[in-house]
Structure 1
Amino acid sequence: MTSSNPRPGGRAPLPQQANPSWMGQVPDQHYRPAPANFAGQLQAALPPAVPAPRGGRRSTGAGGLVAGGGVLGFFSLFSVLPFVLGNTGIAGFVIGFVASLLPLAAVLLAVRVIDRWEPEPKSLLLFAFVWGAVVSISVTLLIQPYFSLAAGPVSGLDYRTFAVTVQAPVVEEFAKSLGLLLLLLFARRHFDGPVDGVVFAFTIAGGFAFTENILYFGRAIAESSDPGTDLAVVFFLRGVMSPFAHAIFTGTTGLILGLAARRWHNGLSVVAFAVGLIPAMLLHSGWNSMGQDFLAQYIVVQIPIFLLAVLVIVLLRVAERRLTRQRLKEYAAAGWFTAAEVEMVSTPAGRRAALRWARSIGRGPQMKAFLHTATQLAFTRQRILSGRDVPAHQLDEQHLLSDVVGLRAAVVH
């Protein structure tokens, strides 16, 4: 909540609405005004119809992560591809691959919708997909036998029940979420908060489900006396009824890691990783535990979980827009934006109107870059106010403010 009382040490009180939502809470001791713009009056990058009232973030760690992910993905193919082909055969693999593209498209479309406000670098999304589709599968294949030997006898369950309800949830969620932890540790400037955590988690889970679907669909072809019918049944269960199952499981870990990214340093982020695995494993185990009363449990339990996930994502998007508006208002007070520009950047309708106008005069790419950079700036300021890695983020802030000035000029001149 905001406060009108003087802050310790004689500092001015937090401005009204400095904490615009639960997603943008600012510790009182870390608040600082935006740097002033002494360059003079602004010529706003506004379309005439809007009433008045850059480049990417710099991170050497992200580049190394993507390169390392590519190497891991390449070598993981030597374990994953023979395993899948050995279970499906060539014909099953090809048919399974094609059929798996449909549920994958649904997950990636959801990622695109969630990520539209402040898009993540395509290179990191590619890393996330490769991690999910290849590396996490390889990690799963590597760990499963050891986990089974260590935990199977202790569980007291028969092997099939143990494999389905304990082994798969624990090992698979660990393997998928390990990619999330690497993104948080080595590409932290791009891991802004819970929305980014969900985006990366959905992408990793979409990749994992893609490869797993190839295996299941292909095996329905290779091992069945009636492959057409069996493929249709398996596709309906996995591709129609549950294309987002893995995304929701791993999404809970991504959400918790994203919340941790807002405030915590790397050591506590590892703790958040361990905590975030718990709901993912429980959801995964609950899904795998559904038996003869599958349809009833699906309707009573799984559909509400899916609807709750949709609601959480909608609330995250609303909080993201409110955070963008408030942080840009603070830059506007320092002379970097006009009030109308803040409204334009922080509302979907304002962005659409701005892009239509800019495209009509041949400056669509410049306006798109201006909107993207202004949004990056808002989230960079949030990281500064969180008190985490402040000098590095202030350097990012300086670059982004310079980019905003240049992109504004490119739009209006």
Structure 2
Amino acid sequence: MNLLLFAIAPVCVIILYIYLKDKYDKEPKLLLFYCFMFGGFVSIIITTILYMMFDYVVTLDKLDIMQQFIRAFFVVGFTEEFSKYIIVRYYAQTKDAFNEPFDGIVYAVMVSMGFAATENIFYVLEGGYEIAILRAFTAIPAHATFAILMGYFMGQAKFSNNRAQLNLKGLLLAIVFHGAYDFFLFIDFVPGVWIGAFVSLIVGIILSRNAIKAHQINSHLRQKL
């Protein structure tokens, strides 16, 4: 039970942080719950299916840098972010409650944290407290930054004539940051290169904070207050 709490705690902290940052019109709690659950189950199922398809088609050498680049960006990054994207795009973005650009960040984070919670439970139950603590400060915040960057553009897309372009821009940015983060971890056989993952994470966090502030400042709901 304690391990389970360790696995879920960082997810809850991030959810609360984003919920409190939604200053002008809180989202329906039931809708947030659904997005979390869809991320935790539907996105995981989609990811698993896509992984199986990739594994059937191609086998990648773990000691080949170029093949690990393909794995990081085109297998893991694309698969996981796409599985989250379709929930935000075809479920959350269609709701009337999605009524300001910041909501793109809120719903993307909820879906992503559902995904991260399920993933983290497996990792932590297998690896124990050390893995729980490590992932609380690395993988879980990383998933959040990918979601915020995606959600920033998906929030813009809802109220733009260039909806498709902005939605895909958000997906692409999440894939790029997810791929970069994983790539440096996948090639850990190169001494010291893992530092690149933390650099990628820090840059993602900075951009995420800027994205949150930008949507807060530019919200049309703020201007009505």
TM-score range, shorter chain: 0.7 to 0.9
Within 2, Cα distance between the matches of 1:124 and 1:241? Answer: 27
Among 153, 157, 176, which residue is 1:260 paired with?
A: 157
2:171 corresponding residue in structure 1: 277
Correspondence 1:328-407 to 2 at 5 A: 328=224, 346=225
1:289 is paired with a residue whose SS is helix
1:304 corresponding residue in structure 2: 203
* 1:298-349 Cα distance to aligned partner (Å, 9 max, x none): 55442232122112212221222xx3354x3xxxxxxxxxxxxxxxxx3xxx
For normalisation by structure 2, the TM-score amounts to: 0.84
- Conservation of the 8 A alpha-carbon contact between 1:96 and 1:216: no
Residue 211 of structure 1 pairs with residue 118 of structure 2:
yes
Within 2, Cα distance between the matches of 1:113 and 1:165? Answer: 32
Correspondence 1:12-91 to 2 at 5 A: none
1:66 corresponding residue in structure 2: none
1:244 is paired with a residue whose SS is helix
Within 2, Cα distance between the matches of 1:114 and 1:174? Answer: 25
Bigger helix share: 2
Post-superposition shift, 1:242? 4.0
Within 2, Cα distance between the matches of 1:311 and 1:242? Answer: 20
Correspondence 1:162-241 to 2 at 5 A: 162-184=70-92, 186-187=94-95, 189-220=96-127, 231-241=128-138
Aligned residues: 215
- Conservation of the 8 A alpha-carbon contact between 2:10 and 2:136: yes
Residue 324 of structure 1 pairs with residue 221 of structure 2:
yes
Post-superposition shift, 1:129? 0.3
Q: Which amino acid is 1:293 matched to?
A: G
1:158 corresponding residue in structure 2: 61
- Conservation of the 8 A alpha-carbon contact between 2:85 and 2:171: yes
Post-superposition shift, 1:140? 1.0
Q: Which amino acid is 2:78 matched to?
A: V
- Conservation of the 8 A alpha-carbon contact between 2:35 and 2:111: yes
* 1:52-83 Cα distance to aligned partner (Å, 9 max, x none): xxxxxxxxxxxxxxxxxxxxxxxxxxxxxxxx
- Conservation of the 8 A alpha-carbon contact between 1:100 and 1:214: yes
Within 2, Cα distance between the matches of 1:212 and 1:237? Answer: 14
Post-superposition shift, 1:185? 5.1
Post-superposition shift, 1:113? 1.5
Q: Which amino acid is 1:303 matched to?
A: I
Post-superposition shift, 1:97? 2.3
Within 2, Cα distance between the matches of 1:307 and 1:274? Answer: 21
Within 1, Cα distance between the matches of 2:194 and 2:62? Answer: 25
* 1:244-303 Cα distance to aligned partner (Å, 9 max, x none): 211111222221111111123xxx534543332111111001111123425632554422
- Conservation of the 8 A alpha-carbon contact between 1:107 and 1:203: no
Q: Which amino acid is 1:158 matched to?
A: D
Within 2, Cα distance between the matches of 1:163 and 1:301? Answer: 17
Within 2, Cα distance between the matches of 1:215 and 1:158? Answer: 25
Residue 245 of structure 1 pairs with residue 156 of structure 2:
no
Within 2, Cα distance between the matches of 1:113 and 1:201? Answer: 15
Among 118, 121, 124, which residue is 2:31 paired with?
A: 124
RMSD: 2.4
1:271/1:300 Cα in 2 relative to 1: closer, same or farther (>3 Å)? Answer: closer
- Conservation of the 8 A alpha-carbon contact between 2:24 and 2:221: no
Unaligned 5+ runs, structure 2: none
For normalisation by structure 1, the TM-score amounts to: 0.48
Question: Percent identity between the aligned chains?
Answer: 25
